[in-house]
Amino acid sequence: MSHTKNVYNLSLKTYKDVYDSLYVSLCLFARNYVHDLDLAKDLVQEVFIKVWEDKVGFRNEATVKSYMYMAVKNKCFDLLKSKRFRSTENMSVEDMDELTRDSFYLKEVVIEEVSTRIETAIDTLPKKCAQIIRLSIGGLTNPEIAQHLGISLNTVKAQKKIAYKKLRPLLKDYFVLMAFVFDYTA
């Protein structure tokens, strides 16, 4: 990024806010490239340290997120292309080609963004509703959820109805992204 006078620099508080809001998503994003959560965490930490040490400037606050995703992607690629990594991992040329495609990157960014938004929306629900929705997203059927939680099937259905009613307005702006992800991954 440019280091001109019209640059948005991260203050310590803003840097911490960016770290708090993006760290988990960036780690999950990096894991999709390197297939190891601990390694992904290390790579994300390195990107945050470099941004801080280099006092990377941004055109505005909105560019921070896209920069961080791209920086993490590039850090993952550096690792994947390194001789040390290639000598210990059996990654085919086809696998590497797939990871370097823009479509893979865009899909993974959208998946992380949508997942974060869904989780944030679910966190606004009453505890029982949130628990039922998470189990449902996890693949359990209504009867399985009822059995797992020791509640009636009608309670599960009623709680899901409440949850959907509350989630719909919170997630309406992300419907297109969710449709893109589920259509793209199908």
Contact assessment for residue 167 and residue 180, using Cβ atoms and an 8 Å cutoff: no
Q: How confident is the model at residue 178 (pLDDT cuts 50, 70, 90)?
A: low
Residue type, 12: L
Contact assessment for residue 171 and residue 118, using Cβ atoms and an 8 Å cutoff: yes
* 180 pLDDT higher than 70: no
pLDDT tens per residue across span 16-56:
888 888 888 888 888 888 888 899 999 999 999 988 888 87
Give the separation between CA 106 and CA 28, rounded to whole angstroms.
Answer: 14
Where exactly are the structural domains of the chain?
A: 1-100, 114-186
Token pair 């963004």: residue: 113
* 184 pLDDT higher than 50: no
Question: In Å, how far from its chain's centre is CA 131?
Answer: 20
pLDDT tens per residue across span 54-110:
887 777 666 788 888 889 988 988 888 775 555 445 555 566 555 556 556 566 666
Class of domain 114-186: mainly alpha
Rounded to 10 degrees, the C-alpha dihedral 1/177/181/134 comes to 110
Strand 8-9 versus strand 57-58 pairing type: antiparallel
The first and second tokens of residue 161, run together, are 């109805």
